[in-house]
Amino acid sequence: MRDNFRLTIRGEPVYRRGEPVSLAFEIENVSDTDYRLLVWNTPLEGEVFNFLEVRCGDRVVPYDGRLVKRGEPTPNSYRRIAAGETIVEELDISESYSLDEPGYYDVTLRVRFADAIPDVGKPLSARSRQEHRGFALDPVTAGFELLPEGDSRPTVGERARSEGWQEGPRRLTVDRSALQRETRPADLPLPPGFAEVFAADDNAIAWLDAANAELASWNGRTDNSLYTEWFGADDASRYQTLRDRVFAIRAWMGRPHNYDLSPSDCATDDYAYTHFGSDTVYVCPGFFNAPATGVDSQFGTFVHEWSHAAARTDDIVYGQTKAHELAATRPDAALNNADNYEYFVETLSGRMVTAPVFWPNAKAYLFTAGQYYRYDPATQRVDPGYPKPIAGNWPGLWGDRIDAGIVWPNGKAYFFRDGAYMRYDITADKVDPGYPLPTGQYWPGLWGDRIDAGIVWNNGKAYFFRDQEYMRYDIAADKVDAGYPKPISGNWPGLWGDGIQGAVMWNNGKAYFLRGWQYVAYDIAADRADPAYPRAIGENWPGLWGDGHIDAAIMYNNGNAYFFRGTYYRGYDIQQDRVEYPDYPLPVAGNWPGLWDTVDSGIPWPNGKVYFFRGAKYMRWDVATNRVDPGYPKPIAGNWPGLWGDRIDAAVLWPNGKAYFFRDSEYMRYDIAADRVDAGYPLPINPYWPGLWGDRIDAGIVWNNGKAYFFRDYQYMRYDIAADKVDAGYPLPIGSNWPGLPGRVR
């Protein structure tokens, strides 16, 4: 694709300081095909974004233009360039680069088109970011001399930072030192859009606080899947940089900061923009079409934009797929990409349980960002059909975030968020009229600005937790007991000393406390945490290994699937959705007659055989006789035409007459009828398996529900065969403590 286009820069040899430094950027289509090019962050957008490298001698002139959070592109995001056509854009680079030092400048144009679609004469349908086929062009350079005459001109960033805040009907300031957030909905008339901005600002701060707490609590980085998912392989220096930058973003939002809801320079696919070091985010129409929580959310937009202002992040790539690829292939770049910070915090918010409550219907309800789960203690798993959105299912309750929940002995439940609370009528199944109300005014002695967790005990008391402290609330007297707050440490044996985010009383004599990705079972009678805690909350394959890799996975015709790791295997009952019986794991030797004691991968074949691979050899297992056929092992080379002959990492039998084999970052498609690899393979996993890890697969298996499951280390992904992409919300951890719940954020 890159050979189809040619770049040129033209300009004057000399400019005077203070006058526009206008350069002509030419893009020529030298192919015989018409194209539509996505204009984002290229000269075709008609604005100087960060696509230049500007040098004055040895000094790099930093970019100081707009930094835009983009949504999904629209047809207007593309520009047509016909075969043989040259498009010229004349742009003043001094708008985005401070050219105040006289001397000789070199300007290098580095253009990467995020997407290019051949124009075949049909109406254009914009492709989603996940489908983009991007390419970079070879850089080109031009030079000029800047004379000292004249005064320097400020960049757009300098103007934004220096201009005083102008009051206006569509502008607002958030000052947490002065604004009583709990009374704002009732007491302040909010113009259209302000409520969404205030809520997104609150949620961004709440989840940045949670992110900082999680980052501080992780003492072993190599097993933090959330970290590696968005920022790549473990590195102590990079991990510390991440902590510093997330802290800086949160601190920036703790200062007075502004939102302008009426900027005039938003494109249709823009969510918001800001500048380095700015105290203002400019909110575009795309923000109001975004969900409050989830992926590319309203609060995530603010995390994205304030990361620009506070941590000087860039927009290297957009979208989850590209951000994942960046983390896997260029982790240092991921650490400088705003979307990676946004998705890091959004993913954490979706996996962290914040407000568990035990309802009178003998179910437990557990809340995450925008969603809730109904957990059945009798079956010890999440009920089918969950999670569901809070909005529409809990009438009157906040639909985006709940900090704490508690069921009172008066037929009511109380839910807390920031400095406000709501009273929920359990019988009527809705929030009582007149709520929310301020916590500090109606809960005597209790913290008035934030509650992290609450639980009713069996002694007529309720306990509330925040940071390192707790309060004991006398239900009959309706006030906090004297002498509180007290430290958690030393008063709750075996429990964490800080950061408790959820608490719930169970019907088994236990209370459960949650923090981040872990939980503790607390024995009420013994008044201490049970041994062997904390444990992980959210795991998904009951009884399966969850603390390391899976070497191979195969589907069998007896209602079981078999998973191999090292010299052991486990049988998984598909109907019961758990490991078949408690004797597992069992050794491969002696239970799989004739098979090696370890295998690299395995795949069932339509001929009643299963093929196992190890190194450069394979074995054929006969399902009917339950043993390896005579004459094996054999070499892969010469027996599997076109397939790698030295190693297979993973293999799956697809319902299309094909088998797929994976090794490192590549895969091959094997035609079963023709008994050979199809022409044109191997191909890279990304972008041909949307959403799947692009660098390594440990094992794969096709289930009987239209899904395929892929495993790597202690995580797995669910791949929708019909939709041909990974389902939303993955990867997830493998092992199991609370089947079906989220909660493992590391």
Residue 169: predicted pLDDT: 77
Give, for 311, the enclosing helix (H) or strand (E). Answer: helix 298-311
Residue 228: predicted pLDDT: 85
Residue 746: predicted pLDDT: 43
Residue 183: predicted pLDDT: 34
- 3 state DSSP class of 548: coil
Written as one string, the DSSP assignment of 174-188 is E-TTT--GGGHHHHS
In the chain, which stretches have pLDDT less than 70?
Answer: 164-165, 178-189, 218-223, 538-548, 558, 577, 580-583, 733, 735-740, 743-746
> Are 370 and 389 a contacting pair, CB within 8 Å?
yes
Nearest Cα neighbor of 319 from 299, 290, 342 is: 342
Beta-carbon contacts of residue 440 (< 8 Å; ≥ 6 apart): 182, 419, 446, 447, 448, 449
Q: Please report which residue ranges of 584-689 form alpha helices under DSSP H.
A: 685-688
Nearest Cα neighbor of 13 from 88, 105, 92 is: 105
What tokens appear for 275 in the block?
């500048």
Written as one string, the DSSP assignment of 353-384 is ----EE-TTS-EEEEETTEEEEEETTTTEEPT
Residue 549: predicted pLDDT: 73
User: Nearest-5° angle of CA 421, CA 534, CA 475?
Assistant: 35
pTM, whole model, 2 decimals? 0.77
Beta-carbon contacts of residue 425 (< 8 Å; ≥ 6 apart): 411, 412, 431, 432
Q: In DSSP terms, which residues pair with 709 in a beta bridge?
A: 701, 718
What tokens appear for 124 in the block?
């254009």
Nearest Cα neighbor of 393 from 360, 371, 419 is: 371
How many angstroms from the chain centroid is the CA of residue 539?
Answer: 18
Q: What span, in angstroms and rounded, lies between the C-alpha atoms of 344 and 186? A: 33
What tokens appear for 45 in the block?
């957008």
Nearest Cα neighbor of 415 from 428, 427, 401 is: 401
Residue 180: predicted pLDDT: 41
CA distances from 13 to 21, 27, 68, 482 (A): 10, 21, 32, 79
Percentages helix, strand, coil for the chain (3-state, rounded to 5) are: 20, 35, 50
Nearest Cα neighbor of 155 from 59, 313, 260, 49 is: 49
Q: What span, in angstroms and rounded, lies between the C-alpha atoms of 32 and 46? A: 25
Q: What span, in angstroms and rounded, lies between the C-alpha atoms of 410 and 395? A: 19
Q: What span, in angstroms and rounded, lies between the C-alpha atoms of 571 and 7? A: 59
Strands 479-480 vs 469-474: parallel, antiparallel or unpaired:
antiparallel
Residue 186: predicted pLDDT: 45
Residue with tokens 């949650």: 514
Residue 675: predicted pLDDT: 95
Sign of the CA dihedral running 615, 620, 621, 625: negative
Where would I find the beta strands (DSSP E) of 163-250? 171-174
User: Nearest-5° angle of CA 551, CA 554, CA 559?
Assistant: 140
Residue 178: predicted pLDDT: 61
Q: In DSSP terms, which residues pair with 200 in a beta bridge?
A: none
What tokens appear for 313 in the block?
């992040």
pLDDT digits (tens, 9 = 90+) for 486-517: 999 999 999 999 999 999 998 888 999 998 87
